[in-house]
Amino acid sequence: MIKREKISNILKSTNFNTEVTVMGWVKTFRNNQFIALNDGSCMNNLQVVVDFANTSEEILKKITTGAAIAATGLLVESLGKGQSVEVKAATLEVLGESDAEKFPLQPKKHSLEFLRDIAHLRFRTNTFNAIFKVRNALAFAVHQFFNERGFVYLHTPIITASDAEGAGEMFRVTTLPFENTPKNEDGSIDFKEDFFGRSANLTVSGQLEGELGAMALGEIYTFGPTFRAENSNTTRHLAEFWMIEPEVAFADLEDNMNLAENLLKYIITYVLKNCKDELAFLTTRLAEEEKSKPQNERSEFDLMGKLQFCLENNFERITYTEAIEILKRSKPNQKKQFKYLIEEWGADLQSEHERYLVEKHFKKPVILTDYPADIKSFYMRMNEPDEQGRRTVRAMDILFPGIGEMVGGSQREERLDYLKARMDEMHIPQDELYWYLDTRKFGTAPHAGFGLGFERLVLFVTGMTNIRDVIPFPRFPKNAEF
């Protein structure tokens, strides 16, 4: 094909009166003369001016919204508002027609609900152009952060026999026939005839395997898909999502908190520097959305203000016990405005409590530590019981405005006897995780790590409110389209 110039480069060019070829999709075509063209390389459109008097009627009829075209002509300074350059087309070619009557993305505002139903086309809208450019930049920044610090990128398995979270909400992987599943004498499924010879599932986390890497390579991170068969049809849950999970040997909870805070600040800084147009668009979009809300539900910050808020403040670090006391004394709790009232130590904090701590009480991101052992996973390092005999673990959660929990992590339990006792207590078979216990038998060492849900991060940085809008093709209950 003829070499094309990207519109992102054309819009910055000052090489006037030179011939260029551009290709893209028609956003609008006004007065049989002005084409707004976008090739996906940037947020902004390029105006292509058509010499309609010398262009065939057949070509003009095919220049419709959604059509793919190629235009060759002179790059000139634009006299119109909103653009500095335009292309005066000498030749036009329609590469792919688009039926104007059937193309669902007409030049008007569409609801996000409507766009979810046509997720295969929503990339062509300004909103999703911006979202997925930001998502791309965030992913790049994550890899750059860890690469600069000498971490090893470890690919942990997607098919696994372990349940790292112990929740049991897993997608089964099997080659056994559904209509005539082999059974044992007691009626249970006979997995000996299955592909792996045992029960297998899609991973819920790469953490346990990541720990194995960290205990030899020192510092590793995983960044890959994870799956939860949780029947939650909400704006905050997905059945398939991406997780960033670093694991670091010879590290404690303090090191873990420092790493997580540094990572979040690094990637937000990267996006602010490299996605200015996208963030400007998303800031305006969010401001328009906020206008439709009652005054008391509107955010205190605009999007850029919220991102700066996280960069300019050191994250507040408090224990779970301190947080419970703050929440018990809070006005929303005393006036019974919380949906879930905080009455005693041991309560599992909800999003409303987390957001109160961040947005109302401290007015900065918060790191909560030392949670009750009863509400946390088996692999977290046990603390000595406090004066009241309450058992806590060296866990941490990082809470962000508008989101609640952004990061969950812990110092891992490196002591074999403590780990085995916790597994017995939580009915986790030791024989199935023999390989995990081996790292505590052969050269055990303090180590720590955390999980950062990538879509939660994209949700925060873009200002979107539904997690299904920040992943290209969302998977949720009763939906596996595209």
Residues 436 and 387 in one domain: yes
- Hey, which bits of 255-391 come out as E strands? 316-319, 366-372
Q: Can you tell me the distance from the alpha carbon of 21 to that of 10, in angstroms, rounded to the nearest whole number?
A: 10
Is 67 a member of any domain? yes
Answer with the one of 105, 138, 173 that is the final residue of a domain.
105
User: What are the pLDDT digits (tens) for 97-110?
Assistant: 999 899 999 888 89
Domain boundary among 48, 73, 105: 105
Q: Residue 463: pLDDT above 90? A: yes
pLDDT at 169: 86
User: How far is Cα 391 from Cα 455, in angstroms, rounded to an integer?
Assistant: 32
Give the H or E element holding residue 23. strand 19-30
**Residue 344 to residue 194: CA distance in whole angstroms:** 48
Check: CB of residue 18 under 8 Å from CB of residue 74. Answer: yes
Question: Residue 164: pLDDT above 70?
Answer: no
Cβ pair 49, 135 in contact under 8 A: no
In this structure, the answer to whether residues 258 and 307 fall within a common structural domain is yes
**Antiparallel, parallel or unpaired: β 219-227 and 200-202:** unpaired
Whether 24 and 128 share a structural domain: no
List pLDDT tens digits, range 297-352. 777 778 999 999 899 999 999 999 999 999 999 999 999 999 999 999 999 999 99
436 plus 377 within the same structural domain: yes
Which residue from 315, 331, 330 is spatially nearest to 401, judged by alpha carbons?
A: 315
pLDDT score, position 168: 61
Chain-centre distance for alpha carbon 169: 20
Rounded-to-integer distance, Cα 418 and Cα 248, Å: 20
* Residues 146 and 29 occupy one common structural domain: no
Read off the CATH number of the domain in which 136 is found: 3.30.930.10
- Residue 286 in this model has a pLDDT that exceeds 90: yes
Average pLDDT over residues 268-290: 95
Does some domain include residue 261? Answer: yes
Short-list 236, 355, 354, CA closest to 299: 355
Say how many C-beta atoms besides its own lie within 10 A of residue 310's C-beta: 21
Residue 201 lies in a domain: no
**What domain range includes position 77?**
7-105
pTM of the model: 0.93
Q: To 5 degrees, how large is the angle CA 126–CA 142–CA 218?
A: 165
| Residue 187, SS3 per DSSP | coil
Whichever domain contains 63, its CATH number is 2.40.50.140
What are the residues whose beta carbons fall under 8 Å from the beta carbon of 452, sequence distance 6 or more?
243, 244, 245, 260, 263, 264, 406, 407
Q: Rounded to the nearest 10 degrees, how much is the dihedral formed by the CA atoms of 393, 380, 315, 463? A: -120
Q: Residue 165's pLDDT is what?
A: 64
Task: Quote the DSSP letter at residue 432.
Answer: G
Higher pLDDT, 109 or 438: 438
* Same domain? 91 vs 139: no
Is 194 a domain residue?
Answer: no
Does residue 119 belong to any structural domain of this protein? no
Question: What's the CA gap between 392 and 386, in Å, rounded?
Answer: 8
* pLDDT at position 166: 60
Query: Looking at residues 363-386, what average pLDDT do you find?
Result: 95
Mean pLDDT on 62-89: 93
Are residues 43 and 140 located together in one domain of the fold?
no
Dihedral angle over CA of 11, 13, 17, 20, nearest 10: -70
Q: What integer best gives the mean pLDDT of the chain?
A: 94
CB atoms within 10 A of CB 440: 20
Residue type, 379: Y
Tell me the sheet residues that pair with 202. 159
Sign for the CA dihedral angle at 477, 400, 245, 433 comes to negative
The model's confidence at residue 167, banded by pLDDT at 50, 70 and 90, is: low
The answer on 360 and 218 residing in a single domain is yes
Residues present in the chain in total: 482
**What is the distance between the alpha carbons of residues 326 and 310, in angstroms, rounded to a whole number?**
22
Q: In terms of domains, do 456 and 412 share one?
A: yes
Structure confidence by residue, pLDDT tens digits, 398-437: 999 888 899 999 999 999 999 999 999 999 999 989 999 9
Averaged pLDDT, 198-214: 95
Question: Number of folded domains in the chain?
Answer: 2
Closest CA to 173 of 147, 191, 153, 154: 191
Quick check: is 454 in a domain? Answer: yes
Is 176 domain-assigned?
no
* Percentage of the chain lying above the pLDDT 70 cut: 99
Cβ(68)–Cβ(24) below 8 Å: yes
Asked if 80 and 145 sit in the same domain, the reply is: no
DSSP-assigned states of every residue in 401-421: TTTEEEEEEEEB---HHHHHH
Looking at the structure, do residues 132 and 90 belong to the same domain, yes or no? no
For 217: left if phi > 0, alpha if psi spans -120 to 50, otherwise beta; the answer is alpha
In a domain? residue 243:
yes
Strand ranges across the sheet with 159-160:
159-160, 200-202, 172-173
What confidence category does residue 440 fall into, taking pLDDT thresholds of 50, 70 and 90?
very high
Q: Which structure tokens are listed for 263?
A: 């990572």
pLDDT per residue over 441-456, tens digit each? 999 999 999 999 999 9
Residues 77, 219, single domain; the answer is no
